[in-house]
Amino acid sequence: LWNDVLNACREFVGGASAGIFAKNVRGNRSQLFFTDGRLGAESTKAYFDGLSTIDPSNIVQVLAEVDQAVITSEKLDPEEFSQTRFAREWAQPMGLVDVVVAPIERRGSWAALFGILLHERDGLGSEDMRNRVTMLAPHIRRAIRVGDILGNAKRQTDSFRETIDGLAVGVFLVDSEGRLVHANPAATALFGSDRSIATGAAGLLRLDRTGMRDLLPHGDHSTSGSKIIETQGGERLVAHVLPLTSGGRKFSGLGGDAVAALFVQRAEFDPPSIPGSLAAAFDLTPGELRVLLATLRNDKVVEVAEELGVAPTTVKTHLSRIFGKTDTRRQADLFKLVAAFSSPLKPRTMGSPCHPNG
């Protein structure tokens, strides 16, 4: 449907291609809603997956008055534009010379836009083209209810942030230069005031740009991996590195320049977050659960008995029942089972707000 509508709009205005999209002033966040398909999927993807960040016309487009079309070539010197990297790498190879665009809604630094790309054969934008795009803009806004679309984009950003911040593991989003784009509360708490960490042969490593770059994948940026690091106090940490594709990071809302997510946690087993779900799943009694958790902290039955203040025979009886209920036979099997029930979410504190619906 929208393919046909935008084709009709393009024929009415003139030009090479028509589209409805959104971007912010910096251009580091952008999204395509609808297009007539005439530009080509590869070229469209190249723009919205990265080249939009260097589009010199971002500010001109986003800050124009709502429903009032602007012609890019009237706001930017065509000669200067032709010398930009954006023009050389994207516009010129396709023969594109101008854009007539109108904001159809704005929210904060975001604007939803209706635009017509002009080819060399179309020439630069004219007054007639400007008037026609201005005339179409309010009708397009009403037709697509763009307010809902932008609202969905904001809700997506808010949901992503809430999800990241709700994880128990420390999450760092880092750009290609090692700059910190975002750190969730667990990441901040993990390092506290002492943000220095050391790592093997690399010696002292700080969570500055250089330190972050050392943790990032090199060469094949699509490969994830894990690294062991240590605090200056000798505490071991595990950093899992997840490279982010342009599509995956573009709408995180936490920084469109992030190239990797670092998931950092202490290199230790922390079972206190799981007793409830584990006990419910296998119908463990409070006594059995105590023995199970103590078994994870101690190697021998005698040590478990000493920690809990019970007789070794009591521990053996509970362990026998635990093995039977969980269909396991060894302590190693219990470790695997408990790890499977480990929650990735940070525990609530007494002051944590609760959702009204639970």
What is the three-class DSSP state of 235? Answer: coil
Assess if CATH 3.40.50 describes domain 271-340: no
CATH code that applies to domain 2-155: 3.30.450.40
Contact 205/188 with Cβ under 8 angstroms? Answer: no
Length of the chain (residues): 358
Q: Do domains 2-155 and 166-266 have the same CATH topology?
A: yes
In 49-91, which residue ranges form alpha helices assigned H by DSSP? 58-62, 72-75, 78-82, 85-86
CA distance 287 to 285: 5
What is the chain's pLDDT, residue by residue, as a tens digit (358 residues)? 788 889 999 999 999 999 999 887 666 678 888 898 898 888 998 988 888 888 888 888 888 899 999 999 998 888 888 888 899 999 999 999 999 999 998 877 788 999 999 999 999 999 999 999 999 999 888 887 655 655 666 666 666 677 777 777 788 777 776 677 777 887 777 665 454 454 433 333 345 444 555 666 555 445 556 677 766 666 777 777 777 765 444 434 444 467 777 788 776 655 555 556 777 788 888 788 888 888 877 888 999 888 888 889 989 999 999 999 989 888 888 877 776 666 555 544 433 333 333 3
Instruction: Output the CA torsion 316→279→309→330 (10° steps).
Output: 30
Architecture of domain 166-266: 2-Layer Sandwich (3.30)
pTM for the whole thing? 0.46
Q: Where are the domains positioned within the chain? A: 2-155, 166-266, 271-340
Structure tokens at 135: 């005339």
